[in-house]
Amino acid sequence: MEEVGANAGEVRAGDRVVINPILYCGRCEWCHAGEQSMCREYRIYGEHTPGGMAELTIAPAKNLVKIPEGVAFERAAAAPACGTTAWRMLVTVGRLRPGEDMLVVGASGGVGSWALQIGKRAGARVFALVGGAAKVRKAEALGVTPIDRVRYPQFSERVRELRGAGVHVVADPVGAPTWPESIRSLRPGGRMVICGASGGERSEIDIREVYQRHRQILGAPMGNVSDFAAVMQLIFRGEIEPVIDTVLPLSEIREAHRRFEAREHFGKIVLVP
């Protein structure tokens, strides 16, 4: 923290803080119900409002959380957006339970790598859809079962080979390219939780594969303040170690984007001002 305003509350200049990226009005019925990501004025800091990749920025004091001593900035920075989204998908909305089977699509991404960690912590059997031998090895190192999409383009067939009827939960942040196979990977009564459409927003599916097998498709974009707080406490208590692919100085932002767009990363890419 460089400077604080007159109504900054408990935060002080010099504090080490992390930003909750959920921006909300605090007045509407959704905010009063604790569902800030449903707010009529909902925005994400760094996406809808500039400031996510900058040396200096201005943020509301209510969105700042102090980082305990001993917790590195890089670990804290790897959690808010992707960790909150994954928690919302699997715990708050997906109702993942111990002993269930879970498939994470796009498992090498920021949300996906968090979903792997949260799924393991929840006591689920976790399967990771990744692309290529190098990412297969990284998924194995995290203690999950990889499925190589290069080797199994119809990955639902591999899921059924491994788990018979299919999985209880699929976490899919990818969208159009994976939706048909993600739905087919679900067992009857299974839940697919979605948070984005990084691969495309329009997918052709056979809706009979949803209703005739009692499957559910659940939207879970970002999360609320409680979801954010739960994830940050996992980081602060050392219960989850975020998967960080690369830490780069802000001056190398071009390389960060190149690595991200080339899909070379596994986990979060963190920029340091």
pLDDT digits (tens, 9 = 90+) for 82-133: 999 999 999 999 999 999 999 999 999 999 999 999 999 999 999 999 999 9
Q: What is the radius of gyration, based on Cα positions, of the chain?
A: 19
Average pLDDT, the chain: 95
Give the model's pLDDT for residue 231.
Answer: 97
Reduced to 3 states (helix: H, G, I; strand: E, B; else coil), residue 140 is helix
Q: Give which of 85, 111, 82 is closest to 222, Cα–Cα.
A: 85
Residues pairing with 103 in the sheet: 127, 170
Q: What is the pLDDT of residues 196-212, one digit of tens each?
A: 898 888 989 999 999 99
Q: What is the pLDDT of residues 132-160, one digit of tens each?
A: 999 999 999 999 999 999 999 999 999 99
Q: Indicate yes or no: pTM above 0.75.
A: yes
Can you list the domains of the chain with their CATH numbers?
17-81+224-272 (3.90.180.10), 95-219 (3.40.50.720)
CA distance 49 to 128: 32
